Amino acid sequence: MNKEDEESVEYKLLFEKSPDPIVLVGSDAKIKMANAAFLSLVGEKAEAVIGKSFLDYVAPEDRKQLSEYHEKRRLNPELAPSRYEFTLLTKQGEKKVIDRTVILLPDGKTTLSVLRDITAYKQLEAQLIQAQKMEAIGRLVGTIAHDFNNILQGIIGYCQLLLGKMNERDPRWKYIYQINQLSGRAANLIQRLLLFSRKHVVETTPINLNQIVNDMKEMIVRIIGEDIQCEFLLEKELWEVEADVSQIEQVLMNLITNAREAMPEGGKLIIETKNTRLDKKFASIRGIRPGDYVVLSVTDTGIGMDEQIKQHCFEPFFTTKKDGTGLGLSIVYGIVNQMKGCIRIYSESNKGTTIKIYLPKTKSNVFFQEEAEPSNITLGGGKTILVAEDDEAIREVLKDMLQELGYKALFAKNGEEAIKLAEAYSGSLHLLLTDVVMPDINGYELAKRLSTLHPNIKVVYMSGYPKIDYPETDAKIFIQKPFSINQLAVKLEEALKET
Protein backbone atom coordinates (compact mmCIF):
# COMPACT_ATOMS: atom_id res chain seq x y z
CA MET A 1 0.00 0.00 0.00
CA ASN A 2 1.49 3.33 -1.07
CA LYS A 3 1.38 6.59 0.88
CA GLU A 4 -1.69 7.92 -0.95
CA ASP A 5 -3.61 4.73 -0.25
CA GLU A 6 -2.64 4.90 3.42
CA GLU A 7 -3.84 8.50 3.67
CA SER A 8 -7.09 7.54 1.92
CA VAL A 9 -7.70 4.79 4.48
CA GLU A 10 -6.96 7.19 7.33
CA TYR A 11 -9.36 9.82 5.98
CA LYS A 12 -12.08 7.22 5.48
CA LEU A 13 -11.53 5.93 9.02
CA LEU A 14 -11.69 9.49 10.36
CA PHE A 15 -14.91 10.06 8.38
CA GLU A 16 -16.57 6.90 9.67
CA LYS A 17 -15.44 7.13 13.30
CA SER A 18 -16.04 10.84 13.80
CA PRO A 19 -18.43 11.47 16.74
CA ASP A 20 -19.87 14.40 14.77
CA PRO A 21 -22.29 13.66 11.93
CA ILE A 22 -20.57 14.18 8.54
CA VAL A 23 -22.26 14.11 5.14
CA LEU A 24 -21.14 14.64 1.51
CA VAL A 25 -23.73 16.38 -0.69
CA GLY A 26 -23.58 16.67 -4.47
CA SER A 27 -24.60 19.56 -6.72
CA ASP A 28 -28.10 18.09 -7.03
CA ALA A 29 -28.41 18.27 -3.19
CA LYS A 30 -28.43 14.47 -2.97
CA ILE A 31 -26.40 12.72 -0.28
CA LYS A 32 -23.35 10.88 -1.63
CA MET A 33 -21.84 9.66 1.66
CA ALA A 34 -22.86 9.77 5.33
CA ASN A 35 -21.10 8.47 8.42
CA ALA A 36 -22.58 6.43 11.25
CA ALA A 37 -23.11 9.52 13.44
CA PHE A 38 -25.29 11.12 10.74
CA LEU A 39 -27.34 7.94 10.34
CA SER A 40 -27.90 7.90 14.09
CA LEU A 41 -28.89 11.57 14.06
CA VAL A 42 -31.61 11.17 11.41
CA GLY A 43 -32.64 7.67 12.50
CA GLU A 44 -32.10 6.06 9.09
CA LYS A 45 -30.04 3.25 7.56
CA ALA A 46 -27.36 3.94 4.95
CA GLU A 47 -29.34 2.50 2.03
CA ALA A 48 -32.22 4.89 2.79
CA VAL A 49 -29.97 7.94 3.10
CA ILE A 50 -27.63 7.61 0.10
CA GLY A 51 -29.19 9.25 -2.95
CA LYS A 52 -31.79 11.09 -0.89
CA SER A 53 -31.95 14.89 -0.97
CA PHE A 54 -30.31 16.50 2.04
CA LEU A 55 -33.17 19.01 2.02
CA ASP A 56 -35.54 16.19 2.96
CA TYR A 57 -33.92 16.29 6.40
CA VAL A 58 -34.44 20.03 6.74
CA ALA A 59 -37.54 21.38 8.53
CA PRO A 60 -40.00 23.12 6.15
CA GLU A 61 -39.42 26.54 7.69
CA ASP A 62 -35.66 26.38 6.84
CA ARG A 63 -35.81 24.47 3.55
CA LYS A 64 -36.02 27.49 1.23
CA GLN A 65 -33.09 29.24 2.94
CA LEU A 66 -30.82 26.16 2.75
CA SER A 67 -31.76 25.60 -0.89
CA GLU A 68 -30.64 29.15 -1.68
CA TYR A 69 -27.37 28.59 0.20
CA HIS A 70 -26.84 25.39 -1.79
CA GLU A 71 -27.18 27.19 -5.14
CA LYS A 72 -25.18 30.29 -4.18
CA ARG A 73 -22.28 28.29 -2.73
CA ARG A 74 -21.67 26.57 -6.07
CA LEU A 75 -21.76 29.89 -7.93
CA ASN A 76 -19.45 31.61 -5.46
CA PRO A 77 -18.62 30.17 -2.00
CA GLU A 78 -18.47 33.70 -0.56
CA LEU A 79 -22.17 34.25 -1.28
CA ALA A 80 -23.25 31.64 1.31
CA PRO A 81 -22.21 31.32 4.98
CA SER A 82 -19.82 28.51 5.82
CA ARG A 83 -21.40 28.05 9.24
CA TYR A 84 -25.00 28.52 10.34
CA GLU A 85 -27.83 26.95 12.33
CA PHE A 86 -30.91 25.20 10.96
CA THR A 87 -33.64 22.85 12.14
CA LEU A 88 -33.19 19.22 11.13
CA LEU A 89 -36.11 16.82 10.74
CA THR A 90 -35.50 13.18 11.67
CA LYS A 91 -37.25 10.14 10.19
CA GLN A 92 -39.53 10.09 13.26
CA GLY A 93 -40.51 13.74 12.70
CA GLU A 94 -38.48 15.03 15.65
CA LYS A 95 -36.96 18.48 15.20
CA LYS A 96 -33.37 19.16 16.24
CA VAL A 97 -31.37 22.37 16.16
CA ILE A 98 -28.14 21.82 14.21
CA ASP A 99 -24.94 23.81 13.92
CA ARG A 100 -23.66 23.15 10.37
CA THR A 101 -20.17 23.82 9.01
CA VAL A 102 -19.96 23.51 5.20
CA ILE A 103 -16.84 23.15 3.03
CA LEU A 104 -16.95 23.17 -0.78
CA LEU A 105 -14.55 20.51 -2.07
CA PRO A 106 -12.07 21.20 -4.90
CA ASP A 107 -14.42 19.75 -7.55
CA GLY A 108 -16.65 22.80 -7.02
CA LYS A 109 -19.76 20.62 -6.79
CA THR A 110 -19.57 18.51 -3.65
CA THR A 111 -19.79 19.87 -0.11
CA LEU A 112 -18.64 18.29 3.11
CA SER A 113 -20.83 19.18 6.07
CA VAL A 114 -20.01 18.65 9.72
CA LEU A 115 -23.13 18.79 11.91
CA ARG A 116 -23.51 19.23 15.64
CA ASP A 117 -26.73 18.69 17.54
CA ILE A 118 -27.12 21.78 19.77
CA THR A 119 -30.78 21.21 20.69
CA ALA A 120 -30.11 20.78 24.42
CA TYR A 121 -27.88 23.86 24.43
CA LYS A 122 -30.57 25.92 22.69
CA GLN A 123 -33.21 24.74 25.15
CA LEU A 124 -30.97 25.72 28.05
CA GLU A 125 -30.23 29.08 26.41
CA ALA A 126 -33.95 29.75 25.89
CA GLN A 127 -34.71 28.85 29.50
CA LEU A 128 -31.91 31.11 30.71
CA ILE A 129 -33.23 34.01 28.61
CA GLN A 130 -36.75 33.33 29.90
CA ALA A 131 -35.52 33.17 33.50
CA GLN A 132 -33.63 36.46 33.09
CA LYS A 133 -36.69 38.08 31.52
CA MET A 134 -38.94 36.82 34.33
CA GLU A 135 -36.44 38.05 36.92
CA ALA A 136 -36.39 41.50 35.31
CA ILE A 137 -40.19 41.59 35.19
CA GLY A 138 -40.25 40.42 38.80
CA ARG A 139 -38.00 43.29 39.89
CA LEU A 140 -40.17 45.76 38.00
CA VAL A 141 -43.36 44.34 39.52
CA GLY A 142 -41.82 44.44 43.00
CA THR A 143 -40.87 48.11 42.60
CA ILE A 144 -44.33 49.04 41.32
CA ALA A 145 -45.95 47.08 44.15
CA HIS A 146 -43.81 48.93 46.71
CA ASP A 147 -44.84 52.31 45.31
CA PHE A 148 -48.52 51.34 45.21
CA ASN A 149 -48.36 50.15 48.81
CA ASN A 150 -47.04 53.58 49.83
CA ILE A 151 -49.91 55.28 47.98
CA LEU A 152 -52.48 52.93 49.53
CA GLN A 153 -51.04 53.60 52.98
CA GLY A 154 -52.15 57.24 52.72
CA ILE A 155 -55.58 56.36 51.30
CA ILE A 156 -56.35 53.65 53.88
CA GLY A 157 -54.95 55.69 56.76
CA TYR A 158 -57.05 58.76 56.00
CA CYS A 159 -60.17 56.65 55.34
CA GLN A 160 -59.90 55.00 58.75
CA LEU A 161 -59.26 58.30 60.49
CA LEU A 162 -62.39 59.73 58.84
CA LEU A 163 -64.49 56.66 59.65
CA GLY A 164 -63.41 56.90 63.27
CA LYS A 165 -64.71 60.47 63.47
CA MET A 166 -67.98 59.98 61.56
CA ASN A 167 -71.32 58.52 62.55
CA GLU A 168 -72.56 55.64 60.40
CA ARG A 169 -75.80 57.56 59.88
CA ASP A 170 -73.86 60.33 58.17
CA PRO A 171 -74.67 59.99 54.41
CA ARG A 172 -70.97 60.48 53.62
CA TRP A 173 -69.91 57.55 55.80
CA LYS A 174 -70.78 54.91 53.18
CA TYR A 175 -68.61 56.64 50.57
CA ILE A 176 -65.58 56.67 52.84
CA TYR A 177 -66.28 53.07 53.83
CA GLN A 178 -66.39 51.96 50.17
CA ILE A 179 -63.12 53.76 49.43
CA ASN A 180 -61.55 51.94 52.37
CA GLN A 181 -62.91 48.57 51.18
CA LEU A 182 -61.74 49.10 47.61
CA SER A 183 -58.31 50.15 48.87
CA GLY A 184 -58.16 46.88 50.80
CA ARG A 185 -58.91 44.98 47.59
CA ALA A 186 -56.14 46.92 45.85
CA ALA A 187 -53.76 45.97 48.67
CA ASN A 188 -54.67 42.29 48.15
CA LEU A 189 -53.93 42.64 44.44
CA ILE A 190 -50.51 44.03 45.30
CA GLN A 191 -49.88 41.02 47.52
CA ARG A 192 -50.64 38.80 44.54
CA LEU A 193 -48.15 40.75 42.43
CA LEU A 194 -45.53 40.35 45.15
CA LEU A 195 -46.05 36.58 44.95
CA PHE A 196 -44.97 36.77 41.31
CA SER A 197 -41.95 38.93 42.13
CA ARG A 198 -40.95 36.45 44.89
CA LYS A 199 -40.73 39.29 47.41
CA HIS A 200 -43.68 38.00 49.42
CA VAL A 201 -42.50 36.14 52.52
CA VAL A 202 -44.73 33.31 53.75
CA GLU A 203 -44.64 30.87 56.62
CA THR A 204 -44.72 27.23 55.56
CA THR A 205 -45.44 23.84 57.10
CA PRO A 206 -44.96 20.26 55.89
CA ILE A 207 -48.16 19.38 54.01
CA ASN A 208 -49.51 16.50 51.93
CA LEU A 209 -50.81 17.59 48.53
CA ASN A 210 -53.24 14.67 48.46
CA GLN A 211 -54.99 16.05 51.52
CA ILE A 212 -55.40 19.46 49.88
CA VAL A 213 -56.71 17.90 46.64
CA ASN A 214 -59.16 15.70 48.57
CA ASP A 215 -60.38 18.66 50.61
CA MET A 216 -60.99 20.59 47.38
CA LYS A 217 -62.56 17.76 45.34
CA GLU A 218 -66.15 18.87 45.81
CA MET A 219 -65.28 22.48 44.92
CA ILE A 220 -63.25 21.42 41.87
CA VAL A 221 -66.12 19.33 40.50
CA ARG A 222 -68.54 22.24 40.94
CA ILE A 223 -66.15 24.68 39.24
CA ILE A 224 -65.46 22.62 36.12
CA GLY A 225 -69.15 21.90 35.41
CA GLU A 226 -71.08 18.86 34.29
CA ASP A 227 -69.69 18.77 30.73
CA ILE A 228 -66.14 18.06 31.93
CA GLN A 229 -65.13 14.65 33.26
CA CYS A 230 -62.77 14.84 36.23
CA GLU A 231 -60.28 12.14 37.22
CA PHE A 232 -58.02 12.08 40.28
CA LEU A 233 -54.82 9.97 40.19
CA LEU A 234 -53.22 10.41 43.61
CA GLU A 235 -50.16 8.44 44.73
CA LYS A 236 -50.94 6.59 47.96
CA GLU A 237 -47.67 7.13 49.84
CA LEU A 238 -47.11 10.70 48.74
CA TRP A 239 -44.23 12.60 50.33
CA GLU A 240 -44.82 15.87 52.15
CA VAL A 241 -43.66 19.24 50.83
CA GLU A 242 -42.81 22.44 52.66
CA ALA A 243 -45.52 24.87 51.59
CA ASP A 244 -48.24 27.31 52.57
CA VAL A 245 -51.68 25.65 52.38
CA SER A 246 -53.48 28.74 51.07
CA GLN A 247 -50.87 29.20 48.34
CA ILE A 248 -51.14 25.58 47.19
CA GLU A 249 -54.93 25.99 47.10
CA GLN A 250 -54.46 29.14 45.01
CA VAL A 251 -52.10 27.34 42.62
CA LEU A 252 -54.58 24.49 42.17
CA MET A 253 -57.55 26.83 41.71
CA ASN A 254 -55.70 28.89 39.10
CA LEU A 255 -54.74 25.77 37.15
CA ILE A 256 -58.27 24.32 37.39
CA THR A 257 -59.82 27.60 36.24
CA ASN A 258 -57.46 27.80 33.25
CA ALA A 259 -58.20 24.18 32.35
CA ARG A 260 -61.97 24.74 32.50
CA GLU A 261 -61.74 27.80 30.24
CA ALA A 262 -59.63 25.83 27.78
CA MET A 263 -62.51 23.33 27.35
CA PRO A 264 -65.57 25.45 26.38
CA GLU A 265 -67.23 22.44 24.75
CA GLY A 266 -66.38 19.99 27.53
CA GLY A 267 -63.60 17.46 27.85
CA LYS A 268 -61.57 15.69 30.49
CA LEU A 269 -59.55 17.01 33.44
CA ILE A 270 -56.93 14.88 35.19
CA ILE A 271 -55.34 15.88 38.50
CA GLU A 272 -52.37 13.72 39.43
CA THR A 273 -49.80 13.55 42.22
CA LYS A 274 -46.71 11.38 42.39
CA ASN A 275 -43.27 11.07 43.91
CA THR A 276 -40.24 11.36 41.66
CA ARG A 277 -36.48 11.71 41.82
CA LEU A 278 -34.85 14.29 39.56
CA ASP A 279 -31.34 13.63 38.34
CA LYS A 280 -28.65 16.27 37.98
CA LYS A 281 -29.19 16.76 34.23
CA PHE A 282 -32.96 17.31 34.49
CA ALA A 283 -32.63 19.57 37.54
CA SER A 284 -29.78 21.73 36.22
CA ILE A 285 -31.66 22.56 33.02
CA ARG A 286 -34.61 23.73 35.12
CA GLY A 287 -32.55 25.67 37.67
CA ILE A 288 -33.38 23.51 40.70
CA ARG A 289 -31.47 21.05 42.85
CA PRO A 290 -31.49 17.33 42.06
CA GLY A 291 -33.26 15.09 44.57
CA ASP A 292 -36.70 13.95 45.67
CA TYR A 293 -39.72 15.93 44.46
CA VAL A 294 -43.49 15.73 44.56
CA VAL A 295 -45.19 16.34 41.21
CA LEU A 296 -48.62 17.95 40.93
CA SER A 297 -50.00 17.63 37.39
CA VAL A 298 -53.12 19.16 35.88
CA THR A 299 -54.03 17.90 32.40
CA ASP A 300 -56.88 19.05 30.16
CA THR A 301 -58.05 18.04 26.69
CA GLY A 302 -58.73 21.63 25.67
CA ILE A 303 -57.56 24.03 22.99
CA GLY A 304 -53.91 23.95 24.06
CA MET A 305 -51.26 26.62 23.48
CA ASP A 306 -49.00 27.44 20.58
CA GLU A 307 -45.30 28.24 21.04
CA GLN A 308 -45.85 32.00 21.16
CA ILE A 309 -48.40 31.75 23.99
CA LYS A 310 -46.17 29.34 25.93
CA GLN A 311 -43.30 31.84 25.76
CA HIS A 312 -45.40 34.58 27.40
CA CYS A 313 -47.92 32.73 29.56
CA PHE A 314 -46.05 33.31 32.86
CA GLU A 315 -45.76 37.07 32.35
CA PRO A 316 -48.05 39.20 34.53
CA PHE A 317 -51.01 40.75 32.67
CA PHE A 318 -50.46 38.53 29.62
CA THR A 319 -53.79 36.96 28.74
CA THR A 320 -55.66 35.53 25.76
CA LYS A 321 -59.05 36.07 27.43
CA LYS A 322 -61.22 39.13 26.88
CA ASP A 323 -61.92 39.57 30.59
CA GLY A 324 -58.75 37.95 32.00
CA THR A 325 -56.38 39.66 34.43
CA GLY A 326 -53.27 37.87 33.19
CA LEU A 327 -52.18 37.11 36.76
CA GLY A 328 -53.20 33.45 37.10
CA LEU A 329 -50.12 31.66 35.79
CA SER A 330 -47.75 34.45 36.81
CA ILE A 331 -48.85 33.95 40.43
CA VAL A 332 -48.42 30.18 40.09
CA TYR A 333 -44.92 30.80 38.70
CA GLY A 334 -44.03 33.07 41.63
CA ILE A 335 -45.35 30.67 44.27
CA VAL A 336 -43.61 27.63 42.80
CA ASN A 337 -40.27 29.43 42.43
CA GLN A 338 -40.54 30.74 45.96
CA MET A 339 -40.86 27.13 47.14
CA LYS A 340 -37.65 26.27 45.24
CA GLY A 341 -39.60 24.19 42.73
CA CYS A 342 -40.21 24.50 39.01
CA ILE A 343 -43.13 24.46 36.61
CA ARG A 344 -43.26 22.87 33.16
CA ILE A 345 -45.88 23.22 30.42
CA TYR A 346 -46.49 20.56 27.78
CA SER A 347 -48.99 21.80 25.21
CA GLU A 348 -49.79 22.06 21.52
CA SER A 349 -52.62 23.83 19.73
CA ASN A 350 -55.80 21.73 19.80
CA LYS A 351 -54.01 18.92 21.66
CA GLY A 352 -54.61 19.91 25.27
CA THR A 353 -52.26 20.99 28.01
CA THR A 354 -50.39 19.37 30.88
CA ILE A 355 -48.89 21.58 33.57
CA LYS A 356 -46.48 19.87 35.95
CA ILE A 357 -45.34 21.45 39.19
CA TYR A 358 -42.27 20.01 40.95
CA LEU A 359 -41.96 20.78 44.67
CA PRO A 360 -39.04 19.50 46.77
CA LYS A 361 -39.77 16.85 49.38
CA THR A 362 -39.72 18.32 52.87
CA LYS A 363 -36.76 17.70 55.15
CA SER A 364 -38.31 19.25 58.22
CA ASN A 365 -41.23 18.46 60.48
CA VAL A 366 -41.26 21.80 62.28
CA PHE A 367 -44.74 23.34 62.17
CA PHE A 368 -45.30 27.06 62.18
CA GLN A 369 -47.77 28.46 64.68
CA GLU A 370 -49.30 31.87 64.09
CA GLU A 371 -48.81 34.40 66.82
CA ALA A 372 -52.01 35.59 68.48
CA GLU A 373 -52.59 39.33 68.24
CA PRO A 374 -53.49 41.20 71.44
CA SER A 375 -57.23 41.63 71.67
CA ASN A 376 -57.11 44.83 73.75
CA ILE A 377 -55.20 47.80 72.41
CA THR A 378 -53.53 50.20 74.83
CA LEU A 379 -53.21 53.85 73.82
CA GLY A 380 -49.77 55.47 73.73
CA GLY A 381 -50.11 57.38 76.97
CA GLY A 382 -47.92 60.23 75.75
CA LYS A 383 -44.88 58.09 74.86
CA THR A 384 -42.61 59.65 72.22
CA ILE A 385 -42.01 58.06 68.85
CA LEU A 386 -39.41 59.13 66.29
CA VAL A 387 -40.73 58.49 62.77
CA ALA A 388 -38.31 58.23 59.81
CA GLU A 389 -40.16 58.15 56.49
CA ASP A 390 -39.10 59.66 53.16
CA ASP A 391 -42.63 59.88 51.72
CA GLU A 392 -44.28 63.16 52.78
CA ALA A 393 -47.85 61.88 52.33
CA ILE A 394 -47.16 58.92 54.62
CA ARG A 395 -45.55 61.17 57.22
CA GLU A 396 -48.71 63.27 57.25
CA VAL A 397 -51.09 60.33 57.69
CA LEU A 398 -48.84 58.80 60.38
CA LYS A 399 -48.92 62.11 62.23
CA ASP A 400 -52.71 61.89 62.53
CA MET A 401 -52.73 58.14 63.24
CA LEU A 402 -50.19 58.42 66.07
CA GLN A 403 -52.00 61.42 67.53
CA GLU A 404 -55.24 59.41 67.46
CA LEU A 405 -53.47 56.58 69.32
CA GLY A 406 -52.17 58.94 72.02
CA TYR A 407 -48.49 59.15 71.07
CA LYS A 408 -46.20 62.15 70.75
CA ALA A 409 -44.17 62.04 67.55
CA LEU A 410 -41.11 63.58 65.91
CA PHE A 411 -40.86 63.29 62.14
CA ALA A 412 -37.80 63.03 59.89
CA LYS A 413 -37.72 62.73 56.10
CA ASN A 414 -34.55 60.62 56.06
CA GLY A 415 -32.02 58.88 58.26
CA GLU A 416 -29.66 61.84 58.64
CA GLU A 417 -32.47 64.09 59.80
CA ALA A 418 -33.65 61.42 62.24
CA ILE A 419 -30.16 61.24 63.81
CA LYS A 420 -30.04 65.04 64.21
CA LEU A 421 -33.47 65.05 65.87
CA ALA A 422 -32.39 62.26 68.23
CA GLU A 423 -29.18 64.10 69.14
CA ALA A 424 -31.06 67.33 69.86
CA TYR A 425 -33.93 65.73 71.77
CA SER A 426 -33.36 65.92 75.53
CA GLY A 427 -36.27 63.71 76.61
CA SER A 428 -36.82 59.98 76.27
CA LEU A 429 -37.33 58.51 72.84
CA HIS A 430 -39.36 55.38 73.48
CA LEU A 431 -39.62 54.01 69.96
CA LEU A 432 -38.30 54.40 66.41
CA LEU A 433 -40.85 53.80 63.64
CA THR A 434 -38.74 53.70 60.49
CA ASP A 435 -39.15 52.93 56.84
CA VAL A 436 -36.68 50.27 55.71
CA VAL A 437 -35.84 51.68 52.27
CA MET A 438 -34.64 55.29 52.45
CA PRO A 439 -31.93 57.28 50.64
CA ASP A 440 -28.44 57.40 52.20
CA ILE A 441 -29.21 55.55 55.44
CA ASN A 442 -31.65 52.62 55.46
CA GLY A 443 -33.87 51.81 58.40
CA TYR A 444 -31.65 49.02 59.75
CA GLU A 445 -28.56 51.22 59.79
CA LEU A 446 -30.54 54.05 61.37
CA ALA A 447 -31.74 51.81 64.21
CA LYS A 448 -28.19 50.65 64.83
CA ARG A 449 -26.84 54.21 65.06
CA LEU A 450 -29.70 55.47 67.25
CA SER A 451 -29.14 52.65 69.74
CA THR A 452 -25.88 54.37 70.79
CA LEU A 453 -27.72 57.66 71.43
CA HIS A 454 -30.80 56.11 73.09
CA PRO A 455 -29.86 52.59 74.28
CA ASN A 456 -33.42 51.71 75.41
CA ILE A 457 -35.20 52.76 72.23
CA LYS A 458 -37.50 50.14 70.70
CA VAL A 459 -37.86 49.71 66.92
CA VAL A 460 -40.70 48.94 64.53
CA TYR A 461 -39.72 48.61 60.86
CA MET A 462 -42.17 49.36 58.05
CA SER A 463 -41.97 49.01 54.27
CA GLY A 464 -43.98 48.69 51.09
CA TYR A 465 -41.83 45.62 50.46
CA PRO A 466 -42.31 42.45 52.56
CA LYS A 467 -39.86 41.85 55.38
CA ILE A 468 -36.26 41.13 54.37
CA ASP A 469 -34.09 39.50 57.01
CA TYR A 470 -30.64 40.98 57.58
CA PRO A 471 -28.38 38.65 59.63
CA GLU A 472 -26.57 41.58 61.26
CA THR A 473 -29.78 43.16 62.60
CA ASP A 474 -32.35 42.25 65.21
CA ALA A 475 -35.38 43.21 63.14
CA LYS A 476 -38.00 41.46 65.22
CA ILE A 477 -41.02 43.71 64.69
CA PHE A 478 -42.07 44.61 61.16
CA ILE A 479 -45.27 45.98 59.64
CA GLN A 480 -45.93 45.98 55.92
CA LYS A 481 -47.63 48.88 54.20
CA PRO A 482 -50.46 49.51 53.76
CA PHE A 483 -51.50 48.92 57.38
CA SER A 484 -54.56 49.97 59.34
CA ILE A 485 -54.52 52.13 62.45
CA ASN A 486 -55.44 49.05 64.47
CA GLN A 487 -52.55 47.01 63.02
CA LEU A 488 -50.15 49.87 63.76
CA ALA A 489 -51.39 50.08 67.35
CA VAL A 490 -50.78 46.36 67.87
CA LYS A 491 -47.19 46.55 66.55
CA LEU A 492 -46.31 49.63 68.60
CA GLU A 493 -47.69 48.05 71.76
CA GLU A 494 -45.82 44.82 71.04
CA ALA A 495 -42.52 46.69 70.62
CA LEU A 496 -42.94 48.82 73.74
CA LYS A 497 -43.66 45.74 75.87
CA GLU A 498 -40.37 44.13 74.84
CA THR A 499 -37.82 43.82 77.65
pLDDT digits (tens, 9 = 90+) for 306-337: 887 777 777 766 666 555 544 567 778 888 88
Do 15-117 and 384-497 share a fold?
no
**CB-CB contact of 333 with 254 (8 Å):** no
Tell me the CATH number of domain 384-497, given options 3.40.50.12160, 3.30.70.260, 3.40.50.360, 3.40.50.2300.
Answer: 3.40.50.2300
Beta carbons of 478 and 461 less than 8 angstroms apart: yes
Which amino acid is it at 454? Answer: H
DSSP string, 414-463: SHHHHHHHHHH--S---EEEEESS-SSS-HHHHHHHHHHHSTT-EEEEEE
Q: Which CATH superfamily is domain 15-117 in?
A: PAS domain (3.30.450.20)
For residues 70 and 358, give the distance between their C-alpha atoms in angstroms, rounded to a whole number: 46
Neighbours of 92 (CB within 10 A): 8
Measured CA distances, 490 to 162, 273, 401 (Å): 20, 42, 13
With CA atoms as reference, report the closest residue to 476 among 452, 444, 439, 445: 444
Per-residue pLDDT tens, the chain, 499 aa: give them: 555 555 566 677 788 888 999 999 999 999 999 999 999 999 999 999 999 999 999 999 999 999 999 999 998 989 999 999 999 999 999 999 999 999 999 998 999 999 999 988 887 787 777 667 766 766 777 778 888 888 899 899 899 889 888 888 888 898 999 998 888 888 877 776 665 555 555 567 889 999 989 988 888 888 888 889 999 999 989 999 988 887 888 888 889 888 888 898 889 999 999 999 998 888 887 778 899 999 999 999 998 888 877 777 777 666 665 555 445 677 788 888 888 898 888 888 888 999 999 999 987 533 333 333 344 555 667 899 999 999 998 999 999 999 999 999 999 999 999 999 999 998 889 999 999 988 889 999 999 999 889 988 999 999 887 765 544 455 578 898 999 898 899 999 989 887 6
Give the SS3 label for residue 160. Answer: helix
Please count the CA atoms within 13 angstroms of the CA of 330 that sit on its side-chain side: 24
Say how many residues make up the chain: 499
For the chain, the domains span: 15-117, 122-197, 205-360, 384-497
CATH number of 205-360: 3.30.565.10
How far is residue 106 from each of residues 77, 110, 111, 208, measured CA to CA in Å?
Answer: 11, 8, 9, 68
Q: How far apart are CA 136 and CA 118, in angstroms?
A: 27
Across the chain, which distance is largest between two alpha carbons, in Å? Answer: 112
Does this model's pTM top 0.85? My answer is no
With residue 96 as reference, give the H or E element that holds it.
Answer: strand 95-104
**Closest to 23 in 3D by CA, of 141, 115, 152:** 115
- Mean pLDDT, the chain, as a whole number? 84
DSSP code string of 25-58? E-TTSBEEEE-HHHHHHHT--HHHHTTSBGGGGB
